[in-house]
Amino acid sequence: MKMHQFLLPNGVRGVVVPMEGRQSVSVQVFVEIGSKYEERGIWGISHFLEHMAFKGTKKRPSAVEIEKEIDSLGAGRNAGTSHEYTNYWIKVAAEHTSWALEILADMLLNPVFPEGEIEKEKGVVIEEINMYEDNPMMSLPHDFFELMYRDGEVGCWSVIGTKKTVGGISREGLYDYRKRFFGGNKTVVVVAGRVDQVGQVEEWVRQYFEKVPSGKVKLPEVPVILDKKQEDRRDKGLDQAHFALGLPTVSWRDERRWADRLWDVILAGNTSSRLWQKIRQDRGLAYYVFSVSEDLREAGYVAVQAGVKKEKLEEAIKVCKSEILGFAKTVTGEELERAKRYVQGKTKLSMEKSDFWASFVGRKLLLEGELVGVEEELARFEAVTLKELKSLVAEKAKREEFRLAVRQ
């Protein structure tokens, strides 16, 4: 697939990904505004900023106007905040590509942050926090991330923040935070799908995003400090025990990250994985077993989450530890090859979707600064040897490195 990349004078990077046989386009804007750059007192502000982008602009003063306009074209829209970036997207019939680019640019460049909407949205986000707290299956991945790295002064590892920090967000604080982190050198615009004239799409991107601030944003250093506390157990009066168990591994900048991902797949990444089989199928201890592994620029970890009978909690944890600690000696070439085929198959199924291409290209270009094709990425997985996988796991799978979060 031939991709067209270009650079605006203000540093904004644009990519057009033409896809034959489509009737729609996925337009996504990536900005390097993420929770890991938040100081302790403003946790959750990146996520809140994402919410407020849909609450009104100078041209479209209210949330209802934005929603009506989007719905009138049958478009899909959403946004998401992670530790390292936020992306905003609209998927729409290809003839409305110009409109999609214009409205996303308007929402990012001209937000008005109405005081009344800020106060209402605080309530919405606090209810979102309550939803997570009431559902350990959803909240445990965030809790586990915090258990690993929460000792630093910079870095909100639970993207949504806390009720206290969200309650303290102000209009002035939103504008100040946005000014610090919103800049051309940290912005990527991707259009993937039916593109009849690549040059025309590039012109629209230039027209609508030329006013993104051109000053170079310098991101703060994020010291990743492993928490000294290795367990976080909380009794919430549940009928079931939910746990997440894992240990630190490598960042996405590490050349071993492809081996790390394959380790994760074999361990808990699908329904033929070791821990799915050992915990659910062989012993009947859990309804769900899945991977909650993560990787960032600075660090990463491999972890598994499951919901089990309370009286079987310690047994399930013991099984997980045993599999992880023994993995380097017991993993087979057949398991490695099956994991490679799994990654390849899942990726190729996703390649049919414009959303996948926009997300894959945007994230790679924003964070890693390069336009990498999917085939090249798959080749890196294919190149992983059994020896390399064993070496990585032997180095990282240490009993003293385990972290455990339990909610029951």
**pLDDT tens-place string over residues 133-152:** 899 999 999 899 888 887 66
Which CB contacts under 8 angstroms, 24+ apart, belong to 287-293?
288/137, 291/264, 291/265, 291/267, 292/140, 292/141, 292/144, 292/244, 292/246, 293/246, 293/249, 293/264
The Cα 281–Cα 275 span in angstroms is 9
341 phi and psi angles, rounded to 5 deg: -65, -35
In sequence order, what DSSP letters do the residues of 139-189 get, joined into one string?
A: HHHHHHHHHHHTTSSB--SSTT--HHHHHT--HHHHHHHHHHH--GGGEEE
pLDDT at 229 (0 to 100): 83
pLDDT at 383 (0 to 100): 98
**Residue 341: CB atoms within 10 Å:** 12
CATH of domain 4-209: 3.30.830.10
pLDDT at 147 (0 to 100): 86
- Contact assessment for residue 35 and residue 46, using Cβ atoms and an 8 Å cutoff: yes
* DSSP single-letter state for residue 359: H
124 phi and psi angles, rounded to 5 deg: -65, -45
Calculate the alpha carbon distances from 374 to 24, 38, 350, 371, 377 in Å.
Answer: 21, 32, 11, 10, 5
Nearest alpha-carbon partner for 244 in 317, 345, 180: 317
43 phi and psi angles, rounded to 5 deg: -55, 135
In sequence order, what DSSP letters do the residues of 289-315 get, joined into one string?
A: EEE--EE-SS-EEEEEEEEE-GGGHHH
- Tracing tokens 């000792």 back to the chain, one arrives at 151
Check: pTM over 0.85? Answer yes or no.
Answer: yes
What tokens does 172 get?
Answer: 């002035």
* DSSP single-letter state for residue 111: B
- Contact assessment for residue 89 and residue 356, using Cβ atoms and an 8 Å cutoff: no
What tokens does 282 get?
Answer: 């062989």
pLDDT at 162 (0 to 100): 93
Pick the CATH number of 231-407 from 2.40.50.180, 3.40.710.10, 3.30.830.10, 3.40.50.80: 3.30.830.10
The Cα 275–Cα 212 span in angstroms is 47
pLDDT at 151 (0 to 100): 65
The Cα 169–Cα 176 span in angstroms is 11
pLDDT at 221 (0 to 100): 82
pLDDT at 378 (0 to 100): 96
The Cα 152–Cα 39 span in angstroms is 9
What stretches in the chain show pLDDT beneath 70?
Answer: 151-154
pLDDT at 393 (0 to 100): 98
pLDDT at 152 (0 to 100): 66
Which CB contacts under 8 angstroms, 24+ apart, belong to 66-73?
66/103, 66/107, 69/103, 70/103, 73/99
pLDDT at 146 (0 to 100): 85
* Strands annotated E in 249-299: 286-291, 294-295
All structural domains of the chain with their residue ranges = 4-209, 231-407
- Contact assessment for residue 16 and residue 26, using Cβ atoms and an 8 Å cutoff: no
Give me the count of residues in the chain: 408
